Chains A and B, each alone.
Chain A
Amino acid sequence: MSGIFIAIILLTVLALFFGLLLGFAAEKFKVEGDPLVDQLEALLPQTQCGQCGYPGCRPYAEAIANGDKINKCPPGGAATMEKLADMAGVDPEPLTATEEVQIKKVAYIREDECIGCTKCIQACPVDAILGTGKLMHTVITDYCTGCDLCVEPCPVDCIDMLPVTQNIKNWDWKLNAIPVKTIDEDVKC
């Protein structure tokens, strides 16, 4: 009979010991921050456009981790939404924004119309616009994320969002699916 008691006591003591050990370890080696947020953020396109209603991609990633909808990122498109759904463990939902054709666009300033008001510079989330007060501004297209945020503040409407042109470096072999025939123009040099 006493053997059973000894066993019970021993196991209880062991359970307590390991419980304390685990509890201590959980406190001592606690992982700071939420890796889920980092993973979600890595999936977002980093345009920092604010179309999701949050000021930037990181806050939106945090919001998704806290249970916000995963379908608020129009620049990412359906592909990003699916990846987010996968990561957050929820069902995919159609995008809230009307799904336009996802062509990457960048901003161009019509430089002769620019009055140098600096409003677009303040709006740009990634510092891709160069210029100073009363002097012409221009967009560093390599840094432009195509977020659209500079278009609205412009008082003279001199910013255009233009699709990125295809060149030999960024062309896609998929083009072959469409039979392309370059038409010759008889342009005099």
Chain B
Amino acid sequence: MLTLFEQIDKGTLWRSTGGIHPPERKTLSNRTQIKSLPLADEYVVPLPQVGESAILIVKPGDYVAKGAILTKGTNFGHLPAHAPTSGHVSCIEIRPGNHASGLAVLSCVISADGLDTHDAHIHPALSTNEVDQLTDKQLLTKIQQAGIAGLGGAAFPTHIKLSPASDIELIIINGIECEPYITADDMLMREKSDEILNGIAIIHRLLAPQRLIIAIEDNKPEAIEEMQHALNRSSLPKDGVRITSIPTLYPSGGEKQLIQILTGQEVPSGAIPAQLGIVVQNVATAYAINQAILRDFPLIERVVTVTGDNTQLAGNYWIPIGTPISHVLTQTQFIGDEHDKVIIGGPMMGYALHNDNAPTLKGSNCILLPASDELAPEQKELPCVRCGECAHVCPVQLLPQQLFWHAQAQEYDKATKFNLADCIECGCCTYVCPSEIPLVEYYRIAKSAIKAEAEEKKQAELAKQRFDLRTQRLEDEKRAREEKQKASAARRKSNMSSSDKDAVALAMARIKAKKAAQKAVATQDDTASKITSSMPETSVPADERQAKIAAAIARAKAKKAGLKQDSADSSTGNGSENSGSVNAPVDDKKARIAATIAKAKAKAKKAALKISTNTEDDKD
């Protein structure tokens, strides 16, 4: 039994599941060399991290040189933005974004001065010796400062990927580029193979793996040849580093799919390749790393394939990041009208752009300009016939028809059970669907709904925590206040002199005597009223006193209830009650009625009362 590494050395490939063979149409753009476009008048650099974990360090009117840093952040995931050319910052504002939503994002607009002056920190290439002397930490800092993100499309910060928590045994350099039309990586490998290999050597040094595979699809023979020559010239160890050509199949270039083809291992659901000891990097990222380490040249331009029947100059271009797509369209002689689609990315996974003024991003590898008859026209969606074609081609072995069923019925919990989260949105199922159902669209909607629900749940949990903490705090404060009052009362008592005590005792005695006298009068009156038994309500002092107490309690309650209620109403009520209790017997009945009304009100507003007592306590 051969070990995995021995099998890799032999060039063994494993079968991946699913996949399709769409028309490649790569020859449109890979016949010419990579060219550059004239400078645009202005560049729009999106600032996604500003306002959260980063701050801007330029202001409108500032001069920036090509490659100058625009943002500063302190957290580990921060990727600085750079000026793609020299010029002045004309404004920092919300501009149309290059995103499927078409939503505008905060961007830094730079009006080019046409000189393209390099920033001072960009220097001539270092020699190999000088690079060897740099520490790993210095290398990673350089990569981070150059703003390098994965150029395969996901744009994940590279310095994080290059400093994994676990040991890495295998590095895969992804030169697959399986999506139709796109040839950016192909052309880069043909023209800049030595630089790419240099970048790979730096990755190799940082991660020190046992094996390194450069994987290229077999429809790029020129690229494979160039890379093989460059590998022979490079300083990389000859054993343990190989170039593997793999059969053309969409979507072999997906990270998890490629790992499966090259190692036979499946990345578990929800896990990342690093947990298997594998890191996958794109060839263009390796090139960018080379530029960053050798010259401190930040990631401010990339190769973009501009292709499709709607452009007369299809090919690959070095396009500065932040170039308005409208500029690219005019420079490459776009012949479509405004109804023709501009697709960012390939035909399988790309999205139509809403606004041509949006800029290119680090992850934009292709601008596809299809003529109206070039791609399959949008057809009416027919009912699912459960043919199972989609399940056949799904590279992740999901059941697209079931996912569709649940996504359509908005049964997102069931869709989750069918592992919707593992869908890579490759579009194979949509491609083969005989009913023309835009399956991926359904999955995207379901995914965002699930994400929103999870977010809401998190928010609710947070709100509950804060509410509980607040309730606890209010109770604690109340208790502390009561204790303080008790303590101060006790202190007052103990501090009283004996003469004070005597005075208090005397006063108490006087009150007692007075009460006794009143009681005597009351009983007299009571008997009198019993005898006469006429008009018992109006002139009964004992009842009257009780009524007074009741009215007072009612007043207090009404006042509390009134806090939440129509305050004017209850205050007039209070006023009448006051006058009623002063000249007691006449208004006694009135007071009672008011009291009952107040009681009823208080009862009805029980909940409100609780809240308002809380607030009252606060005020106290």
Residues of A within 8 A of B (CB): 41, 44-48, 50, 53-57, 122-123, 125-128, 143, 145, 166-168, 170-176, 180-182, 184, 187, 189
Contact = CB atoms under 8 A, between A and B. Distances in A.
B615 A122 contact: yes
A45 B99 CA distance: 31
A127 B607 contact: no
A128 B459 CA distance: 13
22 contacts: A44-B460, A45-B456, A46-B461, A48-B464, A55-B607, A56-B471, A57-B464, A126-B467, A128-B466, A143-B466, A168-B101, A170-B452, A171-B101, A171-B448, A172-B445, A173-B445, A174-B445, A182-B104, A184-B355, A184-B357, A189-B60, A189-B90
B610 interface: yes
Contacts of B48: 168
Nearest to B463: A46
A46 B611 contact: no
B402 to A, nearest CB: 20
Contact of B103 (A50, A53, A168): A168
A127 B473 CA distance: 11
A53 to B, nearest CB: 5
Max chain A C-beta neighbours (<10 A), residue from B48, B99, B452, B467 = B467
Nearest to A50: B611
Given A55-B611, A127-B466, A174-B445, A180 B460 contact: no
B455 interface: yes
B470 A122 contact: no
B354 interface: yes
The 9 A-B residue pairs with the shortest CB-CB distance in the complex, in nearest-first order: A189-B91, A46-B460, A126-B466, A46-B463, A173-B444, A171-B101, A46-B464, A189-B90, A173-B445
B109 interface: yes
A171 B611 contact: no
B76 to A, nearest CB: 19
A143 B447 CA distance: 24
Interface in B44-97: 48, 60, 90-91, 93, 96-97
Interface string B273-317: 000000000000000000000000000000000000000000000
B445 A54 contact: no
B114 to A, nearest CB: 18
A174 B91 contact: no
A168 B463 CA distance: 24
A182 B460 contact: no
A189 B463 CA distance: 41
A137 B549 CA distance: 42
B469 interface: yes
B618 interface: yes
Interface string B586-620: 00000000000000000000010011001100110
Contacts of A55: 607, 610-611, 614
A171 B607 contact: no
Interface residues of B, number: 45
Nearest to A53: B607
A169 to B, nearest CB: 9
B20 interface: no
A158 to B, nearest CB: 19
B547 to A, nearest CB: 32
A93 to B, nearest CB: 20
A167 B103 contact: yes
Contacts of A50: 607, 611
Contacts of B618: 122
A143 B615 CA distance: 21
Nearest to A166: B103
Contacts of A171: 101, 103, 448
B480 interface: no
B448 A182 contact: no
B93 A189 contact: yes
Given A54-B607, A167-B103, A174 B466 contact: no
Contacts of B91: 189
A92 to B, nearest CB: 17
B485 to A, nearest CB: 21
A115 B35 CA distance: 62
Contacts of B441: 173, 176
A122 B462 CA distance: 19
A173 to B, nearest CB: 4
A130 to B, nearest CB: 13
B371 interface: no
B205 to A, nearest CB: 36
A44 B460 CA distance: 8
Contacts of A57: 464, 467
B449 interface: yes
B354 A180 contact: yes
B97 A123 contact: no
Contacts of A44: 460
Contacts of B464: 41, 46, 48, 57
